[in-house]
Amino acid sequence: MSVILAAVGAFGLLAWAEEPVAAALTAGHLRAVAAAPERLAELDGPRDVRVWWDEGLVGPVDVEVGVEGRFKRAAKDATPGVTLKKVPAGAVVRLRGADGALSEAVPVVFTLSPAGLARVGAPTTLSGAEVTTVVSDEAGAWVGSWGGGLARVSHSDVTVWSWGRAEGLPSEAVLSVAIDGDRLWIGTAAGLALADGDGVIRVWDAADGLVDPWVYAVAPDGAGGAWVGTDRGLGRIDAAGGLTLIAEDAPVLSLVVTPEGQGYAGGAGLMRLPVGDVVPGMDVGLNVLDLDVGAEGLSVATETEGLLHLSQGLLTPIWRPAGGAVFGLARAGSTLFAAAGTAGLIAVDDVMGPKHAWGAAEGLPNGAVLSVALGPPGSLWVGTAEGLALFRVATQHAVVWPAPPLPAGRAASALLAGDDWVIVGGDHGLGAVGALPRGWESLLMVPGPVIALAQDGPWLYVVTQAGVWRAGRRSPPRRWSLPAEAHHAVFSAGSLWVGGPKGLYRLDLGQDRLVPGPAREPVRAMSADGLGVLWVAIGERVIAVGGNGERFDLPGSHPAEDLLATNDRLYALHDGAVSAIHRGSGEVAATWRLDAPLVSLGGSAERPLGITSAGAVVALGEGIAPEALEPLCDAPTEVVVDGEGRVWSYGPLGVCALGR
């Protein structure tokens, strides 16, 4: 599949458009997304923007770009997927029809999503770590990943062609894919997309009658439409694009249509398509994740009871892995291959059960296998929690697709960023994009889990469960053992402070070790202001630690789950609300609460921020104010501001650069 890109002139050379009287054009899912830059240093400048809408709902249109209320024509007689060159941050986009009717303007998304960050670091690798679905054809496979979008791979080389939001997808969390001749149905966490040889041509979501945006399964119906399984029911799209609800209030997790046209929908039990009647003998208490239709009956992959066989109304257990779940099935001749999570890739006999098992020891990128599809003769495409492999069964040889330094879907627990680099720590260790300061590369092999990252001039400090590491220019890496478990690390007054369940410790370079600090109580949070004072939440109160290590208790303070110190304020998070704390007494000066609870405080001393359970970034000051930053990270738990003033959010599913 190839995408036709319509390049247009530089933004500054575009022609002015007349101002409208009214907006009357319905474009359908109009969206404009900035492409990932080649370098992080280009993140804040003008960027190329892809504009998408539902093809067929409107005729030829002009695309207009607006900045501060003034619009210019950027493309004439454009089609979906048009590329606009060098669009500035903060711009909006609208469409103008041949009759002069206008669509509503939509903001251009400049946020760098986890998939976008992965493509900055390695544009020809798989953007996502967790491979959720794989479907194959004669030339290769389509690979969907959680947060990494869709990728096209070939069995003849390891080149990757990636699709994300900038390529028209409604979300980069891809849950299902189905090939329909020269078209592709793509199920995501934000709706369903239909693509052809020129790109995404249509999107369906709640506005179109989709009962739920999470599209777990999709299957062509053989008549130009498709069956759509969501978290809350089953729908059918006809050849004209109309959507009909077939069943609701129960998840549909798998869809299979045989070459003979017999269809099945798996969720809480099994339904036959098209009428939706229940398949006799199938336990409705079992979630069906995949299905193989054979001459002797149905092989059923379930979420809790492993692999079952259903024939003539009789349900028979075949094999159950320790975790209970079998995520996917692929049949080659008489052998059924099962993607069985942490049990690995399993070759199963329909009667005798498992015959062989393969995992990381046999060359797969990870032992947790989540998806499987037939490859070239004798081979299987295997999707794991950490990437994709083409596995040749007879020789047990795996070709593993290269992973980017910071793939989408990989948990992040710490982050540092500069003008043209970012370094991220997590359970897997460290990953970086861009040109790191000299000497820092030596720490990229430090094993995880990484607890914290800190910078002191030319020095990089990495705090792990195994100790504190330091590297800098013209200096070999150093390591100091931790005297106790650590959960937090902060630089204050030129010293590295580490806190955990057994108290506070300071790295004393003179003694060449970590020495006990002035608190032996469990440390819950730490924050340093710009005045050389370290603020620490311990037990039921907050204390201040001076530049010489002296301790000052705040007698009126209360328990805090997180702290953020500025030069004139101290903010404390407790039970989803944030309070301004008096720096001398610890008394609460004011408390603010949002509908969505705050989960952490961050940013910087100059720009205090918080992040809510919904992923929204808020500014702290004389209250809580929303920031004009679009969250594209799923479930972010932390927010920081780097030295260039850019805001980053991160958490268990990856890292986002949100802008300034």
Segment 534-561 shows an average pLDDT of 92
Burial of 395: CB neighbours in 10 Å, binned 0-12, 13-18, 19+ = exposed
Q: Which two tokens stand for residue 436?
A: 């790191």
Nearest CA to 176 out of 215, 213, 204 is that of 215
Q: Are 359 and 339 in contact (CB under 8 A)?
A: no
Q: What are phi and psi of 166, to 5 degrees?
A: -65, -20
Most confident range (mean pLDDT) of 25-29, 154-158, 265-269, 272-276 is 265-269
The pLDDT of residue 235 is: 94
Q: Which of 9-13, 198-202, 346-350, 451-455 has the lowest mean pLDDT?
A: 9-13
3-class SS at 208?
helix
Question: Residue 165's pLDDT band (boundaries 50, 70, 90)?
Answer: very high
The pLDDT of residue 629 is: 67
| Residue 294 reports pLDDT greater than 70 | yes
Write down the residue that tokens 């994740």 correspond to: 289
Evaluate the CA torsion angle 8, 11, 14, 16 in order and state its sign: positive
Question: Residue 275's pLDDT band (boundaries 50, 70, 90)?
Answer: confident
Write down the residue that tokens 């820092």 correspond to: 440
Interval 245-267: pLDDT, tens: 998 888 999 999 988 888 999 99
Question: Residue 12's pLDDT band (boundaries 50, 70, 90)?
Answer: very low
| Residue 21 reports pLDDT greater than 60 | no
The pLDDT of residue 206 is: 92
Task: Count CB-CB contacts under 10 A for residue 54.
Answer: 20
Interval 41-63: pLDDT, tens: 998 889 999 999 997 777 789 99
Domains of the chain: 7-107 (2.60.40)
| Residue 81 reports pLDDT greater than 90 | yes
Question: Residue 158's pLDDT band (boundaries 50, 70, 90)?
Answer: confident
Strands 7-10 and 82-87: parallel
Q: What are phi and psi of 367, to 5 degrees?
A: -80, -10
Interval 103-132: pLDDT, tens: 999 999 999 999 999 999 888 899 999 999
Segment 406-420 shows an average pLDDT of 93
Interval 366-392: pLDDT, tens: 999 999 999 999 999 999 999 999 999
For 468-498, b/e burial (b = at least 16 CB within 10 A) is bbbbbeeeebeebebbeebbbbbbbbebbbb
Interval 316-357: pLDDT, tens: 999 999 999 999 999 988 899 999 999 999 999 877 888 999
Sheet of 429-434, strands arranged across = 414-417, 421-426, 429-434
Q: Are 227 and 265 in contact (CB under 8 A)?
A: yes
| Residue 307 reports pLDDT greater than 90 | yes
What whole-number distance in Å separates Cα of residue 48 and Cα of residue 449? 37
The pLDDT of residue 110 is: 92
| Residue 425 reports pLDDT greater than 70 | yes
Evaluate the CA torsion angle 342, 346, 348, 353 in order and state its sign: negative
Q: Are 74 and 55 in contact (CB under 8 A)?
A: no
| Residue 4 reports pLDDT greater than 50 | no
What whole-number distance in Å separates Cα of residue 79 and Cα of residue 230? 30
| Residue 80 reports pLDDT greater than 70 | yes
Higher-pLDDT residue of 660, 582: 582
Nearest CA to 63 out of 22, 7, 117, 115 is that of 7
Q: Which of 14-18, 224-228, 574-578 has the lowest mean pLDDT?
A: 14-18
The pLDDT of residue 285 is: 87
User: For residue 428, what is the enclosing H or E element?
Assistant: none
What whole-number distance in Å separates Cα of residue 43 and Cα of residue 112? 8
Percent of the chain with pLDDT over 70: 96
Question: Residue 14's pLDDT band (boundaries 50, 70, 90)?
Answer: very low
Amino acid at 231: D
Average pLDDT, the chain: 90
Interval 403-412: pLDDT, tens: 999 999 999 9
Segment 164-188 shows an average pLDDT of 96
Interval 82-101: pLDDT, tens: 999 999 999 999 999 988 99
The pLDDT of residue 572 is: 95
Segment 597-625 shows an average pLDDT of 89
What whole-number distance in Å separates Cα of residue 7 and Cα of residue 50? 10
| Residue 15 reports pLDDT greater than 80 | no
